[in-house]
Structure 1
Amino acid sequence: MIKLAEKTFYITTAIDYTNAAPHIGHAYQKIASDVQARWKRSQGYDVFFLTGTDEHGLKIQRAAKEKGVSPQDFVDKLSKQFQNAWDKLNIRYDKFIRTTDKDHKKAVKEAIKKIKEKGDIYKSQYKGLYCVGCERFLTEKDLIDGRCPDHKTKPEYIKEESYFFKLSKYQKPLLKFYKENPEFISPKLIRKHVINRVKE
């Protein structure tokens, strides 16, 4: 049996989207996370610090096509740029993950299989206005004059089959857990948002 250290601390950054080169905004988050990881290590915590790159999506597909290369060749080049940038900044991460890594794909497939077997996900149709730049669906009230407020482009209407998680199945135990462990989600503003989302 594996015994966990008495004090463990897991930290992850957002995994960077590889449609363009790294910039100061990416670096800011890595530096802030690295500072926190180093601080926890100095306090005797067993720290695991994860960062990496997200290498899937319509934006990447389109950017690769513009460059005349395959999506995999495109993300291979950019992912290396991200990793080199963090190494030059002496970011002490424990693992740099790529969503195209074989071990990542295997873990995701296994997780989805288990979740599906438990009846926690189901397939359904999702449709709506999608902003490729934001990589998210928008509502009519999000738009300004029919356009994305950030990218000033008209979102595309997309209808696709997707997997959905049955959050309602876990609503009561989650709300009970959050009530009994108020510091589990921080900051407070985010905690309220998460709790309201679970209540929906």
Structure 2
Amino acid sequence: MAHIDTHNSENRSNKRIAYGLVLLVALMIGMSYAAVPLYQLFCQVTGYGGTTQRAEDSAVGIIDREMMVRFAAQVDPDLPVKIVPAATQVDKVGKKITVNYRATNLTDAPVSTTASFNVAPASMGAYFNKIECFCFTEQTLAPNETVEMPVLYYLDPELDLNDELDTIREITLFYAFHAS
């Protein structure tokens, strides 16, 4: 009677399973690191979740429809900076508008901050275009310094072609400030 070496075939099978599981874990870790930038890219392209668009220049025209844009800010409690949002604006859709947020460093040391942002209602994110914004770069404030932080934006007139947006008359641009 021939002796079959089942012990070696079980070891090979167990090694294949172990290698497969290690590969699966490595793949899952890699996907978790890729998820955030891929999600950000998706939001920037589609305006999903109120992510605004970045534009090189202004829209192709101005239409009669007016829109109110409110500005809001939230500062991380550990960040010693006071932020005053820009004043509410009411202007025609398509018009380039510049507003300023005001930031004050409340300490005797330099402070660096960045701002993340979104628009509410979220459906307007695809139509809110920023040409220039302090949020594109890190802001460093000298001790006790107060600075104006500009936002140059326009609302894309194509929003008027979307019937779902007919009832929207107000937008809020929100910034969350945190230490960088």
TM-score class, shorter: under 0.3
| Structure 1 length-normalised TM | 0.20
Q: Which has the higher strand share?
A: 2
Q: Which has the higher helix share?
A: 1
Give the greater-gyration-radius structure (CA). Answer: 2
